[in-house]
Structure formats: C-alpha cells, structure tokens
Amino acid sequence: MLGFKFLTLQKRKFLLVIVVVASVNVIAFFAIGLKITLQKANKGSIEYRQLHPDEQKVLVYHCPWDVKCGGLGDRQKGIVGGFVLSAMLNRTFKIHMPLHPECNLDFFLTPSELDWRVRSTELAHPDQQSLLAMDGDNIDVIQSLLKKDNLQAELPSTYVLFRSNMEIVQYLLQHPAAKKVEWLQGKSVPDIYKEVITRLFTPSERIQKKLQKLQSDFRAGNASLICAQVRLGQSETFEDTEQFLNVQVFPVLADFLAPYSTAATSRIFISSDSKKIVELATARFPTVAVTVPGPITHVDRSKGGDTCEGTEKAVVEQFLLASCDMLVISESGFAKIAAFLRGRDDGLYIVYNKATFFSHKIVVESYRRDEPAFPNRRW
C-alpha cells in the first residue's frame, strides 16, 4: 500500500483499471460456470426441454383433421396420457390437433405454462414412429408396452406420434419409469388430469370473454350454480357408437334437482349431447334454467360449418361445469374431466342406469372422482 501511495496519478488509474477488469472477468467466469451447472442439473426438467427443443426427443399427440380421435373428452384423455408418457420418456411434449380449416385448437385453448404448439416441419421429421392405442385395442397396446422395462428402447425415434382416446394414466403410473418423475409422486389420477390440463391450456381471449359474461349472468344475485351433464349417446341429435341413456333419464334427474330450483338462490345449468334434454330442462325449470347458446356437435362426427361453433360451446360448457357448486355427471369422459377440474368430491353425483337382478333403474347417487371406471363402462 505504501508503494501505491507514491505512484503517480496516471499509474494509479492504470492499476485500478487492471483490478476492475480482472474482477469482472472472475465474476463472469463463475457466473458462466454456475449457469452451465444449473443447465446440466435441470436438463431433465420440462422447462429445460421446452427451452431447448432441438436437443431433445419429442412425443406429439397427433390427431390430424381427417382422422377420428373421439370427442373432446376422448382427446383430453389422449393428451393427458401422452403428456405423462412423455415425462416418463424424458421427452418434450407437443400437440397437433387441427379441428377445422377455420378453427385450430388454439382458437379455443392457448398454451399456459408450456408451449405445446408444433411446427409443420417437425411432423415431416425423417426419424419418427407411431404409437396408436385407439378404442378396443387401446389398453392392450399400452399394457404390452408397459411390460417392457426399458421404454426408451421401445420408442427410440426422435419423434413419436401418439394417439389414444382412453384413460391410460392409471396404467402408466404402475411402471417403474413413472416413479422417477417427481411431479407425479403422491398424486391421484384426478389430480394429474387437473395439473396437466392446467399446465397445458388456458382459455383463449375469445373463450375468456364468453366465460366471464356467462358467469356474470348465471351467478347474478350471488346465485348458486347447480349443474348436470347428461350424455345420451345415440339420440335424435347425432349419431353415436352406442346409447348410454334415453330421455327417460330426465324425470329422475329433474326430481333430484327440483329442491334446488328456488329462483332467488339458484340457477340450474344443463349440458347435454341431446337437444331434447335441454328443451325438457328449460320447460321444467323456466325461471332458473340457463344454457350456453350454440349448436350441439361432436368434433369427430361434425365436419360441417358448425364444427367451430359447436366445439366452442363444448369448451365453454366444460369450464362452466368445473365451476359448479353442485355437479351431476353421466357416464361421460367429458363430464368426468370437468369433475377433475372442479377438484372436489363434495356435491358430486352421477346419474346412470343401475342394474338389479331383475331390471334396470335410473338413479342419481353420490360419486367420487377417483373411481377407476363408471358403473357400466370404462371411461
């Protein structure tokens, strides 16, 4: 320090510049080292894979417009199952699901925490393979895959194009690879569906505006929202693969809802794949029944001009069902996922055709979200 005191002013300034530059270089060196360490540590995280897609393999939920993938609930099951499988494989997850030339998926739902949009060039990648688990073959395909210890060896391609329309999360969780995915631990199937859908999707601005308007109207005067989703399946509204209920369900459901129909305290919201059920509800509860306007369509069976409007109606209705104070569902994946998003079992019921020794009887009973199947069918 004494030597420094007797240096000329010019030399002192020169030495200070050298010290400052050296200090900055040292700090930068350690900062870069820390960044590299953190990147290495987080390379398996979903967030890292989203930021560095070119370094990773990809699993795409792949449902082209001209391919049948099921209704909205079926597609949600495929998306959630694909997302969980991608985590088990340490892959980036993306979605290719054009609904109509005039309305893509992000017309209704936009990326939330993770960007799942896929570039057209990615779908032409030369190193790809398909994993199709649809309808009756679904569970067999998945269970055959899950018998293999090394899933990576079974799905080695850079891009895996995945399509499924049934609930497979309960089976995926049984594989050792699922035990290594931290965010899956300690969660039930309903919890996983809610987390995945919330992380992937947020309502588009268009859908948000509709929801805000409907919620304001439905809940005017601080009203409770009492809801039912009734899936008939095959009906006068459109063709379906099978019939689950018929219009005879309505008197039973209406009697169950009647005590909640006090105009000053409640609104009754009926969602259905049948126009007749909605008409019966508005006739039975004329002062308290509320509905979402728009055509009733099926995304797999309605390819005409009303597909966009009908899909918008379905998306809005599912969000509304998830907000209900009381919810009655039918044997519908669409409705069950709404119950998952609702997030609780209190005030949750199911209406279905209950078999006895000598006959069938339509009943409304309390229900739990974690039931692995519906009373009469897999969901």
CATH number for the 205-366 domain, one of 3.40.630.30, 3.40.50.11350, 3.20.20.70, 3.40.50.150?
Answer: 3.40.50.11350
Where does the pLDDT of residue 65 fall: very low under 50, low under 70, confident under 90, or very high at 90 and above?
A: confident
pLDDT value at position 47? 57
**Contact between 204 and 308 (Cβ < 8 Å):** no
Q: What is the CA radius of gyration of the chain?
A: 27
Task: Tell me how far apart the alpha carbons of residues 181 and 352 are, in angstroms, rounded to a whole number.
Answer: 36
Q: What value does the mean pLDDT take over residues 34-60?
A: 57
Separation in Å, CA 370 to CA 101, 137, 189, 203, 229: 37, 24, 7, 25, 18
Statement: residue 211 has pLDDT above 70:
yes
Examine the pLDDT at 2 and tell me if it is beyond 60: no
Taking 70 as the threshold, does the pLDDT of residue 343 lie above it?
yes
Token representation of residue 101: 């030339």
Of 267 and 39, the one with more pLDDT = 267
Distance CA 169, CA 180 (A): 15
H or E segment at 27? Answer: helix 9-41
Which whole-number Å values give the CA distances from 210 to 84, 128, 299, in the listed order?
A: 31, 39, 20
**Rounded Cα–Cα distance for residues 155 and 164 (Å):** 16
107-130 pLDDT, tens digit per residue, is 999 999 999 999 989 999 999 999
For residue 196, pLDDT beyond 90: yes
Check whether 172 has a pLDDT greater than 90: yes
How confident is the prediction for the chain on average, in pLDDT? Answer: 87
The pLDDT value given to residue 378: 87
Report the C-alpha gap between 31 and 23 in whole angstroms.
12
pLDDT score at 36: 42
Q: Where are the domains of the chain?
A: 47-203, 205-366
Give counts: helices (H), strands (E), the chain.
14, 12
Percent of the chain whose predicted confidence (pLDDT) is above 70: 82
Q: Which pTM does this prediction carry?
A: 0.85
Structure tokens at 376: 């009469």
Which residue has tokens 């000598």?
358
pLDDT tens profile 255-267: 999 999 887 889 9
79-95 pLDDT, tens digit per residue, is 999 999 999 999 999 99
